[in-house]
Amino acid sequence: MKKGLLRNTYIGSLAAVIIVLISVAAKGYKIFPAKGNDVCFACHEDPDLTMEHDGRKISLFVNSSNYKKSVHGGNDCTDCHLNYNPDDLPHTKTKAPVNCKDCHDDAKIKVLETGLHSKINCSDCHSKHEIKPAKEFSKEQTDACLKCHTSRNVQAYRTSIHSQKKEGCESCHTGGHNAKSIPKNEVAETCGKCHGQHEKSFNNSIHETVLKGGNNNAPTCTDCHGSHRILTSKMSIESESCLRCHLNSKLFPGEGKGSAKFVADYKTSIHASIQKNGKEAAGCSDCHGNHMIQNPGDPEASTTRTRLPETCGKCHKDIVDKFLNSAHGKALLNRSVAAPTCVDCHSEHSIKSVRSSDEFSKINQVDLCLKCHQEGKLPHKNYKGEEVLISDYKSSYHYKALQEGKLNAATCSDCHGSHEMKKFDDPTSRIYKKNIAQTCGQTNCHTKQLNEYTGSVHEVSISTKTNSDAPTCTNCHGNHQILKKDEQTNLISNSKGLVQLCSSCHASVELVRKYNLPTGRADTYLGSFHGLAVRGGSKLAANCESCHGNHNIRPSNDPLSTINKKNLPETCGKCHPGAAETLFNTPIHVTNQQSQSPLLYWITRFYIYLILIIIGGMVLHNAVDFTKKLKKKSVPASGEKA
Amino acid sequence: MSDTKEKKYLRMTFNERVQHFCLLTSFITLVITGFALKFPEALWVTWIRAVFGENFFELRGTVHRIAAVIMVSVSVYHLLYVIFTERGRQLITDLWFKKTDVMDLFHTFSYYVGRSSTRPKFSRFSYIEKAEYWAVVWGTIVMGGTGTMLWFENTFLPVLSNSGMDIATAIHYYEAILASLAIVVWHFYFVIYNPDVYPMNKAWYTGYLTREEMELEHPLELEETESQDEQPEIADEKEVTEFPNPKEIETQPPVPENPSENKTDKTLPQPDFPNEVKTDVKDSERDDILRQNGDNTVNSEKENKKN
């Protein structure tokens, strides 16, 4: 029994050893691959190992250390290179290609078969011997893509912001085996995965609308930003991108708004020609927006009429603030159809420098304003409520001087302001009655006259009273049709006109009563020698201005007044050198002879009665004489002639 | 009426006529240019202004002053004339107011109202003409004085003060009205519209009055001259021949122009030009005619016959 057990044990252990040995033999290389691969590397580690194939030299070098590090480093060479016999040369006669699917046969791989990359080898991306783990590979995937995708456009990706931000090809093209090209109508959506806000804006844009309408000419993200070479948004991409299409007269025919021609004007504008930080002062997107570009007819568009001030105000804030407070701005915000917005004066694209362009030169500015402000179109009223014909300006001396090249002469904006023009009844308006003198007397204009006028009885009345009827500059000189003083049609060019002008207030019963003005100024003047001479056409005789001054008219009790008693000899002495010693014992304007100049009164009375008596007596005498003589003559015969 | 030549009675010598002419032209000029100042918008002033253009006012002033100088010069000349000539002194003597003038005025009115049947007989100058003359003297002094003040206003302004100038202006104006009206109402009536002399007393350019005119206007003077003799008129005649008016003397035939009254049917009396300096009218004849016609003038009788 003991002898049987021992034998059984021996047989058993032997069998076990045999089994182990068999199993080890059966496993072969698999258990000790290094040993098998070493056989391969014995040759293939040589960088110079090559073979001829179809007349070409093919390197047979495999970097063994890299291979060992790769994800397949634990596999035998023959796991992939099936049927290779290291002892034979060549190693195989069947030349079976490496088929990754032998091992990697799952859903991920199947996708490839229908995808873009169905025709390429796995090794094209994953390499042959240095295959990396999926996680590691995905980081370098883009490099793999760019190995084949060598077009300049795609290669430019490397300089793009996406590259810098480590957004690889897969971010857009779906990575892994599912890579795909992106059709135009999916671009926005694709970009929108990251740039959702912009996609949303773009989806509201006219570009998107047109695109959806089936017009593939309309741009999507990549048309402006480029596909691969996408730079930071701060870089100039806009105008060139926009103009690529918008200057194409086939895409945008005609001459109207929206046409290529219309857009081409932009090139002449100051926005395009002045550079700021390396780009246009204002590019297309500064006004039109970038992603949400809308038709100006759309009330939400940044370029719609009512929103233009806001749009332009992004850069021109001060100006737009003034504009919005102006009559024009207020009308615009009230949705007045006639109200002008920025582009009505400055035009849409060909915006020029106001200082240097001919369009805004002082003289051309007039026509710009008169486009709207002319007879029959936009009647305006002055502070008296009288209608003003603005085109009268063209007959003014201001305009004439401009035509003669005197650029100091006032044009519309010099008095009304350019953007801040307001109606006459706005107290902050430059043409508000209280402000007119300041406007006319502004620096470089009529400062001397303003100095004279300041402190005059008229000026004091205006500045201290509300709604004074006292005259400011325009009451005497007119507003738009201001003429040179010596021009014949100018009321103040001649004494008659001047007297008429002053009389319009000083002989007005209403005004004389309202302001308790001295009465009879005009009557007494017109009856005096001065007045009679002026009425008779004398150019020398004194008119109102000769004694009272013009801008500096002051009441007689003011020591600065030309008609202050102290100054009378000098004032009168201008014409009457002898007047220096004159005793002015009665008023110049004698309105009540009896109290003011009794002697004159009584002499006048005396003469009137004298004339009545003497001439009356003569008439009586002669009438009697006449009838008597006629009677005598008619006695002898009938007919009488006398 | 008779076709006899009429005797002429010297009324104004050539010298006096020249004085009168200067006075009348300067006076009318002054009236026109003066009132053109005072009433610059009057229709007639606008006409004148339309003729002379825009400088009319200055021209008006200049002409007014020229006329004033002429008038004052004539006045001064007249002053010298009445001082230094015999005829001048006689003029003043004859023009001097006398008591009879008051009586004449009174009688004239009683004649006018019918209380008296005859008109008072006037001498060389009736009270009408005397008033006229002295009014001119007075007016010339006043207008000349105030006018000078206004002309040289820069000299007088310090002296008279502004109220003084106002007064001078007023006087100049009212005196102008008075003078103009006096000339129109008084003088023009008696030398033009007066039915006795209508259409005009021609002595201002002929120098002579007709016998009829003398009879009507200056019967006393006529009587006086006739009572002396014809000599003074011969003397005057000589004086006149020194300043012959060729038109009057040569071009006009010595024949009176209306010898045949039936030929003409003109309604107005023909201007009766004194054609002859020399006259051979028979005074006796004329006197007879005048006596027959009583107070009727020769002219009116002609007129009556025509009608």
Domain boundaries, chain B: 14-193
Nearest to A419 by CA among A359, A329, A315: A329
DSSP assignment string, B71-87: HHHHHHHHHHHHHH-HH
B14-193 topology per CATH: Fumarate Reductase Cytochrome B subunit (1.20.950)
Report the C-alpha gap between A226 and A419 in whole angstroms: 40
- Kindly state whether A623 is in contact with chain B, defined as any CB-CB distance less than 8 angstroms: no
Q: Which of B162, B166, B196 sits opposite A582 (nearest CB)?
A: B162
Cβ–Cβ below 8 Å for A535 and B41? yes
Residues in B closer than 8 angstroms to A626, CB to CB, are: 189, 193-195
Q: Which of A578, A599, A626 sits opposite B158 (nearest CB)?
A: A578
- Is the peptide bond between A559 and the residue preceding it cis, with omega within 30 degrees of 0? no
- Kindly state whether B56 is in contact with chain A, defined as any CB-CB distance less than 8 angstroms: yes
Report the C-alpha gap between B87 and B92 in whole angstroms: 9
Q: What is the mean pLDDT of residues A533-561?
A: 90
Report the C-alpha gap between A554 and A478 in whole angstroms: 22
Q: Which of B56, B161, B296 sits opposite A585 (nearest CB)?
A: B161
Cβ–Cβ below 8 Å for A582 and B296? no
Structure tokens at A587: 């008023």
Report the C-alpha gap between A470 and A452 in whole angstroms: 16
Q: Are A314 and A300 in contact (CB under 8 A)?
A: no
Query: Up-side HSE of residue A555: CA atoms within 13 Å toward CB?
Result: 9
**Does residue A561 have a pLDDT over 50?**
yes
DSSP assignment letter at A167: -
Give the nearest chain A residue to B168 (CA atoms).
A600
pLDDT at B39: 92
Q: What is the mean pLDDT of residues A110-139?
A: 80
Whole-number percent of chain A with pLDDT over 90: 16
The C-alpha of B246 sits at a distance from chain A's nearest C-alpha, in angstroms, of 32
Look at A120-124, A307-311, A410-414, A454-458 and tell me which has the smallest mean pLDDT: A120-124
Q: What is the mean pLDDT of residues A545-557?
A: 92
Q: What is the mean pLDDT of residues A435-463?
A: 92
Report the C-alpha gap between A398 and A409 in whole angstroms: 5
Q: Are B161 and A582 in contact (CB under 8 A)?
A: yes
pLDDT digits (tens, 9 = 90+) for B10-24: 888 899 999 999 999
Q: Are A420 and A377 in contact (CB under 8 A)?
A: no
pLDDT digits (tens, 9 = 90+) for A219-266: 888 888 878 878 766 555 567 778 888 888 888 888 888 888 888 888
Cβ–Cβ below 8 Å for B38 and A532? yes
Cβ–Cβ below 8 Å for A626 and B36? no
- Kindly state whether B192 is in contact with chain A, defined as any CB-CB distance less than 8 angstroms: no
Residues in B closer than 8 angstroms to A536, CB to CB, are: 36-37, 40, 45, 49, 56-57, 60
Q: Which helix (H) or strand (E) is A3 found in, with range?
A: helix A2-27
Cβ–Cβ below 8 Å for A615 and B166? no
* Residues in CB range of A59: below 8 A, 6 or more apart: A47, A49, A50
Cβ–Cβ below 8 Å for B186 and A622? yes
The C-alpha of A619 sits at a distance from chain B's nearest C-alpha, in angstroms, of 6
User: Confidence class of residue A506 from pLDDT cuts 50, 70 and 90?
Assistant: very high
Structure tokens at A239: 């105008």
What are the backbone dihedrals phi and psi of residue A276, each rounded to the nearest 5 degrees, phi first? Answer: -135, 120
End-to-end CA distance of chain A: 207
Structure tokens at A269: 């504008």
Scanning B206-225 for CB atoms below 8 A from A yields none
Helix count and strand count (H, E) for chain B: 15, 2
Cβ–Cβ below 8 Å for B174 and A607? yes
Residues in B closer than 8 angstroms to A613, CB to CB, are: none
pLDDT at A378: 67
Query: Which site among B115, B149, B152, B167 would you substitute to test the A interface, given the most A Cβ atoms closer than 10 Å to its Cβ?
Result: B167
Nearest to A79 by CA among A65, A60, A62, A96: A96
The C-alpha of A547 sits at a distance from chain B's nearest C-alpha, in angstroms, of 15
Extract the residue ranges of chain B whose pLDDT is less than 70: 1-6, 228-307
Report the C-alpha gap between A494 and A488 in whole angstroms: 8
Domain boundaries, chain A: 1-31, 496-591, 595-634
Query: Up-side HSE of residue B300: CA atoms within 13 Å toward CB?
Result: 28
Residues in A closer than 8 angstroms to B58, CB to CB, are: 538, 540
Q: Which of B37, B167, B307 sits opposite A603 (nearest CB)?
A: B167
Q: What is the ipTM of this complex?
A: 0.72
Coil vs helix vs strand at B208: strand
What b/e string do you get for A426-453 counting C-beta neighbours within 10 Å, with b at 16 or more? Answer: beebbbbbbbbbebbbeeebbeebbebb
Report the C-alpha gap between A435 and A441 in whole angstroms: 10
Query: Up-side HSE of residue A282: CA atoms within 13 Å toward CB?
Result: 20
Q: What is the mean pLDDT of residues A466-493?
A: 85
